[in-house]
């Protein structure tokens, strides 16, 4: 018993000391990292006082590193993604806020050319209309990610931008709430976006993306204008494709066609009408859940939305939420709700495609444009429906 206790104590002691060692190695590395950030910030012209004020609030948060590295077991499906973001509660709230802020939204549309229902859709998707802006502290989140090293230069630059914001807008570093990735305020702007595009929407001489809805919405509109928002144009719309449609011409990266060309191929609106016979608007068609799900024709504003967040699911959710707030109904074709592929399955698909000579890029378990292109090429060669959508069937086929 005594012997047992003795070894147990020894074991705990050694565990404790290795933990302490780990912590101290870690904190030494972090101290070196903080010193380097301070140096870079001073070199970039931030005053020593501001550097100290911001860095005094920067704490390394292991939880943020864990969130950043977390890889879900399943890849997200379009139904999942959109279902979580565009739901009846949010649509209703958006419609009510459209009334509440009608004057502001009209002014913003006049000044920046972006209709109110789009501004509401961004606002709704980013923070549930200002309801949830993240509970982290921006200096801490950014310092943690800068020192974690995976994207050190990006997050160091964002942290230095944060210091500039503190200086320029007299912000209190302790009150700069953010997401775990450092996105701030009602529009979840990263510091560099904040620095470039935030404006004073309520003309009180301050720019406050946390507490002023007018500042947040004006800043969103200003950002979209800078991303080249096309006034009086839609983002896109749901379409119906004819039987026997040539799927290989779909995809955001495929050559664009004019509306007249899509019309000639038999593409119709979700309501069943022919597309307008015009040749001055170019568009692509995408099917985010494959040929069994909804198809969308997308215009230039779709890419503008992707300039805000580089995700097709995000852009479709913003577009659809905007439409719903403006009074449109549900999608004509609901996306299939079957579970997504596991990441290991996506990886296996990517590996097989690479081995077969279709370049799916580095097998990472993420369905990106290279994966879709390779899937499409494989489908075409094997006389399958070339929707570029990797599913269970494709997985089984490649496995056998
Ligand atoms: Ca203001």
Block means of pLDDT (10 residues each) for the chain, length 400 residues?
50 57 71 96 98 96 92 90 96 98 98 98 98 97 94 97 96 96 98 98 96 98 98 96 94 94 97 94 96 97 97 97 97 92 96 97 92 95 95 94
Tokens of 321: 């939420």
Ligand 1 centroid to residue 263 C-alpha, Å: 47
Residues with CB in 5 Å of ion ligand 1:
200, 202, 204, 206, 212, 215
- Checking phi first, is residue 67 left (phi over 0); if not, alpha (psi -120 to 50) or beta? alpha
Rounded distance between C-alpha atoms, residue 129 and residue 89, angstroms: 12
Question: Tokens representing 234?
Answer: 């839609």
Whole-number Å distance, alpha carbon 140 to ligand 1 midpoint, is 25
Centroid of ligand 1 to alpha carbon of 208 (angstroms): 6
Say how many Å lie between the CA of residue 164 and the centre of ligand 1. Answer: 18
Distance 322 CA to ligand 1 centre (A): 25
- Chain centre distance of CA 281: 27
Please give the pLDDT value at position 221. 98
Q: How far is the CA of 205 from the centre of ligand 1 (A)?
A: 6
Cα 169 to ligand 1 centre (Å)? 11
Q: How many residues does the chain have?
A: 400
Q: Is 204 exposed, middle or buried (0-12, 13-18, 19+ CB in 10 A)?
A: exposed
Specify the pLDDT at position 1. Answer: 44
Instruction: Give the end-to-end CA distance of the chain in Å, rounded to a whole number.
Output: 57
Ligand 1 mean position to 216 CA, how many Å? 9
Pairwise CA distance, residues 33 & 45, whole Å = 19
pTM here?
0.91
User: Smallest Cα–Cα separation from 391: which of 346, 333, 344, 330?
Assistant: 346
What's the rounded Cα separation, in Å, for the pair 272 and 354?
40
Alpha helix locations (H) across the chain?
A: 2-43, 48-55, 62-69, 78-85, 88-100, 102-112, 116-127, 138-148, 152-169, 191-197, 213-226, 259-264, 300-308, 312-325, 343-355, 369-381, 392-399
**Widest pairwise Cα distance in the chain:** 90
């Amino acid at each position: 018993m005594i012997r047992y206790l003795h070894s147990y104590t020894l074991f705990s002691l050694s565990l404790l000391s290795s933990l302490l060692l780990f912590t101290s190695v870690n904190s030494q590395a972090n101290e070196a990292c903080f010193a380097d950030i301070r140096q870079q910030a001073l070199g970039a012209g931030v005053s020593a006082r501001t550097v100290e004020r911001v860095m005094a609030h920067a704490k390394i948060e292991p939880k943020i590193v864990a969130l950043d590295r977390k890889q879900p077991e399943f890849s997200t499906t379009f139904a999942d993604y959109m279902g979580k973001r565009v739901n009846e509660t949010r649509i209703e709230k958006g419609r009510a806020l459209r009334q509440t802020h009608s004057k502001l939204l009209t002014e913003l549309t006049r000044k920046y050319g972006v209709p109110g229902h789009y501004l509401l859709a961004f606002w709704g998707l980013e923070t549930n209309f200002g309801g949830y802006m993240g509970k982290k502290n921006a200096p801490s989140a950014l310092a943690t990610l800068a020192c974690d090293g995976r994207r050190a230069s990006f997050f160091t630059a964002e942290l230095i931008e944060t210091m500039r914001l503190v200086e320029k807008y007299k912000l209190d570093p302790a009150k700069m709430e953010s997401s775990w990735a450092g996105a701030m305020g009602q529009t979840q702007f990263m510091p560099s976006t904040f620095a470039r595009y935030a404006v004073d929407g309520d003309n009180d001489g301050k720019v406050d993306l946390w507490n002023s809805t007018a500042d947040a919405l004006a800043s969103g509109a200003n950002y979209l204008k800078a991303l080249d928002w096309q006034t009086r144009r839609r983002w896109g719309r749901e379409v119906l494709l004819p039987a026997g449609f040539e799927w290989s011409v779909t995809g955001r990266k495929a050559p664009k066609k004019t509306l007249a060309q899509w019309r000639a191929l038999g593409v119709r609106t979700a309501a069943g009408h022919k597309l307008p016979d015009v040749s001055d608007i170019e568009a692509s068609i995408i099917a985010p859940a494959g040929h069994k799900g909804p198809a969308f024709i997308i215009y230039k504003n779709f890419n503008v939305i992707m300039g805000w967040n580089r995700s097709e699911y995000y852009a479709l959710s913003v577009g659809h939420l905007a439409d719903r707030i403006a009074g449109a109904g549900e999608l004509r074709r609901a996306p299939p709700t079957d579970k997504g592929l596991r990441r290991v399955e996506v990886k296996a698909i990517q590996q097989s495609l690479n081995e077969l000579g279709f370049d799916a890029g580095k097998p990472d378990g993420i369905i990106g444009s290279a994966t879709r292109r390779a899937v499409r090429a494989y489908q075409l060669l094997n006389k399958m429906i070339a929707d570029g959508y990797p599913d269970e069937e494709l997985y089984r086929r490649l496995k056998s």
